[in-house]
Structure 1
Amino acid sequence: MALIIDIETISWFKDEEHKQLVLKERQNKTLKDPDKIAENHKKIINEAALSPYTGQLTVIGMKYTDKSESFIYTLGYTDPVDSYVNGFPTERELLIAVWASIAKAIDNGERLVTFNGKSFDLPFLFIRSLINNINAGLDYMGLIHPYNHDLHLDIKSLFDKGSLKEIAYALDCKTDNEIDGSELPELWKSDPAKVVEKNKSDLIQTEKIYERVKGWIPQRLQMYSSSKMDSII
């Protein structure tokens, strides 16, 4: 059994000073035209969601490969119908709940499975945890080690090129959800339910691809411990 994980994020700034600092550091300094500078600033703000220093978690989806349901933790949104979608009032509480779920999976000898998780999802969770003063007590370097496929298999590392959507299409593992990832930050403001559905779709696609490749990368019988999880602060 494995635990599939996928995250969604939105742009976030501590305050106006932080926002201006980011714009100054990331702006295209060759631009002189005011309209092009303004366009560049808009692009920076939109892409800020991709960095844990300027992005905040909105949705963290988890799905066990032996269960049909997806467990979705969000920042403030609870689905009135789907009891598996639970909102948390703060990002800190959201992170604590997610790390507890990850620790439980590790203690049960389950493999974590992501798509680009060693480069994006796990580093994002880690840095946002530091910002929120959380110590999950897990072996972070083990979680992102490029050759440790027993603890965490990042499916993207198995493919030379391609997005999740491209690979899922090629392997006939695609879902019907057509929302583009670039739309998610704005959708979160207007219709968070659609962001949740997109997250569920990505979890299912990742799971389908995992089922196709897992025979090539069997998990060695090895137990890991998250003994420090009770020390989360």
Structure 2
Amino acid sequence: MHANYLGIDFGTSNCTAGRLDATGQPELLHLSEASPYLSSALYLPWPDDFDAEDEEQKKPSLAQLLRQPDRALLGQSAHDRYSADPLGGVFIRSPKSMLGSRLTPLQTQLYQQVCSLMLTHIHRRADQSAGHSNPQQAEFAVIGRPIHFQGIDGNDGDARAEALLRTAAAQAGFREVQFAYEPVAAAVEYERTLAKDQLVLVVDIGGGTSD
């Protein structure tokens, strides 16, 4: 795999990212302070001039809040802010769990923006984390996906979810995006440790789906 590929586990509960170091060995990158894990959560605070207790004041729409991505809090910071001020904004958790659902065009656009915001953060933090061993910016992404996303539409829902993630990743600055089935990726990683053939059952029990 080329050095400027970034492998991303865009999980229902948590996200991780990894790439090859200068010696060609895979390494997990820090997506939050001193941790390779980023909780799949987003908090969008209301504008400074908005009073949540004023019943006559119209709440900004989610679309309006997403137009100010620099104000967004992600990961544990989103959880902390929501716990401290649950009425101070919009809290979104586990967006991946909705991607295979029957979304309206507006909902599709909003979830695409949410995923793009998260993938942009992952891209930026991964590049910063890898700077000590590989200063080259990641241009290509391999994103893990379940065999089937949550939803009742089967392959059609899977295709919609993958297309949404592909567009979101492009918006996050990746020139090319590929997908890998999560249980297959786990099997390949386990195979790297074997000295002889084994017949194994790989079970991926995730926060939203199991394969």
Structure with the higher fraction of residues in helix conformation: 1
**What TM-score does the superposition give when structure 2 sets the normalisation length?**
0.32
Structure with the higher fraction of residues in strand conformation: 2
